[in-house]
Amino acid sequence: MNLDVSLDVTWIHGTAGEPDIQLHRAGDGTFILRQNKAVTYEAPFLFLLAGDDRALLLDTGATPGPESFPLRATVDELIGDLPLVVAHSHGHGDHVAADGQFADRPHTTIVDRDLEAVRAFFGFGPADDRLPGETVTFELGGRTLSIIGSPGHHKAAITVHDPRTGFLLTGDTVLPGRLYAFDYPEFLATLDRLVAFADEHTVSYVLGCHVEMRQQPRRDFPIGATYHPGERRLEMTVEQLRQVRKAAHDVAGRRGVHRFDDFVIYNDPRQGDLLRLLVRGRLHKLIGRRPPRRTP
């Protein structure tokens, strides 16, 4: 596999003195950004892909900034005045919060988070109240991306495949963490499509938007944790993608929380499942481990 890609990076994880945004150049015109956990426990990853004619910024993070999250300034430094499309892996608040930073940027299109806007912009066909399970292409100029409709976690979720790097950008659908499947039949169908796509295309890494798992198998960090010592790596393999699909099918008839070595599936979570998650997070804030203090 001869691809222009490097993931030789140690990600910031909540230690004092870390930058508001960590930038990693993963290849030519390929940038991965992580938001600081001290700014937001979500610490989402964002992806910037530049072609000859325009660039795509996938997601804008969990806080509006720009004081503690200078996303616009960072992007402008990387791509200059290249035209930009700001889109989202899906429409949840921790992926769209800094859209406003780009409102006055010249030659910039911001794709609204709602279903109809996503469908119309990328050219998906009609499908009731969710994106259809189809793949469309999106041209950056010398760099043609595949955009795969991926409902299940969110009705307007997409997955992006970049042939230059082999990255399969899966948003919150597949990641080393908690996989919240709010429409379980659609979640299963999406996983089937992603595995089928990976079988027919070159995929170097599966990259989601969060890391929530510890290095120890089956253990995730509490929700709300702002310090992640010993967290898993961001990248997952195609084999792990297959494991997610198999696990999801295995627990399809059992609603609730199901733990596996590299991820946790929330199958159509009940109110009690989410309440226990929040209570665990609240207890962690009261008695949990905190990051080291800055040395005077």
| Band of pLDDT at residue 126, cut at 50, 70 and 90 | confident
| Band of pLDDT at residue 291, cut at 50, 70 and 90 | low
Q: What is the pLDDT of residues 251-270, one digit of tens each?
A: 999 999 999 999 999 999 99
What's the pLDDT at 294? 45
CATH code of domain 21-287? 3.60.15.10
| Band of pLDDT at residue 287, cut at 50, 70 and 90 | confident
What's the pLDDT at 1? 55
Rounded-to-integer distance, Cα 92 and Cα 65, Å = 17
**pTM as predicted:** 0.95
Q: What is the pLDDT of residues 22-54, one digit of tens each?
A: 999 999 999 999 999 989 999 999 999 999 999
What is residue 165's three-state secondary structure? coil
- Residues 108-128: b if buried by 16+ CB within 10 A, e if exposed: bebbbbebebbbebbebeeee
Terminal CA-CA length for the chain? 47
Q: What is the pLDDT of residues 201-253, one digit of tens each?
A: 999 999 999 999 999 999 999 999 999 999 999 999 999 999 999 999 999 99
Rounded-to-integer distance, Cα 287 and Cα 114, Å = 39
